[in-house]
Structure 1
Amino acid sequence: MPEVESFNLDHTKVRAPYVRLAGRKAVGGGVVEKYDLRLAQPNREAIPTAALHTLEHLLAGYLRAHLPGVIDLSPMGCRTGFYLVAEGPIGEEAVLEAFRKALEDVLRHQGEIPGASFRACGNYRDHDLKGAKAWAQRVLEAGLKVQPTL
């Protein structure tokens, strides 16, 4: 089986919340970067599914508002954070600042969750705005940092 970066990460050494450059790949004439946006401490806690789903919908838009070149934002299967894929090079500090601003946007969000309809979402009933805001608040209060790859 080909090597998978996240399977080689020593999850006992990471300290959430953080931003970490998880990979960089030359594609065509440019660079694509993958970032680990970790909210919860691995193997100690997990974001409930509905709150994670709502964070995914909100951050997908809010990160794009603060960071040019976003290709994708995907939740981690372990429910401890997200992977951000973007055209680079960007740098961890710029991603951290955009992530912080996007989490602040989540706290201010009012009304409907973007894309949370039968037509636009594969599980539109499984959302929790209050839970998403609680996680955003928790991460902002804890303070985001750059985590070097260990």
Structure 2
Amino acid sequence: MKKANVESFNLDHRKVKAPYVRVAGRKVGEKGDVIVKYDVRLKQPNKAHMDMPSLHSLEHLVAELIRNHADYVLDFSPMGCQTGFYLMVLNHEHYNEILDLLEKTMHDVLNAKEVPACNEVQCGWAASHSLEGAQALAREFLDKRGEWSEVGI
């Protein structure tokens, strides 16, 4: 296959073993700042996916709660294939610390009493949320914490 411009399009999704966390990209700005993009994969590609209300709520929860632990987080965004998220960080290239950060945040998700910004003022589809679904995803991800570094490729 011809090499694609998008890094994940060059990944053989048949060979990876979810769940995992891998570095999916690294960009250095003209002033030396480094943006690192992590592929945080919860579901096995082409075998399973997250339902939208659960994915949506997990996105809200992690995007809000992860910033309680790290000021270098730029973004936490869902993949359109509904199998994972992209975590982007600024000037922080410590992989094991990212794993610890995700673990802490997923524990926060398990303790959450509500989904942040789950209303029509702050969310574009406020009716599509599930706190219980997000917590089930976080629990499932945490249960396989020992496997996060094993991408399978």
Structure 2 CA distance, aligned partners of 1:70 and 1:17? 21
Determine if contact 2:58/2:134 at 8 Å carries over to the other structure: yes
CA-based RMSD: 1.7
Q: Partner residue of 1:96?
A: 99
Structure 2 CA distance, aligned partners of 1:97 and 1:18? 13
The residue matched to 1:122 in structure 2 has which SS?
A: coil
Q: Partner residue of 1:6?
A: 8
Q: Which segments of structure 1 move beyond 2 Å, counting only runs of 4 or more?
A: 88-91, 147-150
Instruction: Kindly tell me the number of residue pairs found equivalent between the two proteins.
Output: 149
Amino acid at match of 2:76: L
Unaligned runs of 5+ in 1: none
Amino acid at match of 2:78: P
Determine if contact 1:93/1:146 at 8 Å carries over to the other structure: no
Cα-to-partner distance string for 1:30-66 (whole Å, 9 max, x where unaligned):
1011001111111110000000000000000121122
Determine if contact 2:15/2:152 at 8 Å carries over to the other structure: no
Cα-to-partner distance string for 1:69-124 (whole Å, 9 max, x where unaligned):
111110000001100111023222111110111111111111x3111111110001
Q: CA deviation at 1:10?
A: 1.1
Amino acid at match of 1:76: M
Determine if contact 2:63/2:75 at 8 Å carries over to the other structure: yes
Identity of aligned residues (%): 44
The residue matched to 2:102 in structure 1 has which SS?
A: helix
Structure 1 CA distance, aligned partners of 2:152 and 2:47? 20
Question: Map of 1:34-113 to 2, 5 A cutoff?
Answer: 34-110=37-113, 112-113=114-115
> What TM-score results when the alignment is normalised by the length of structure 1?
0.92
CA distance change for structure 1 residues 114 and 52 in 2, over 3 Å: closer, same or farther?
same
Determine if contact 2:43/2:50 at 8 Å carries over to the other structure: yes
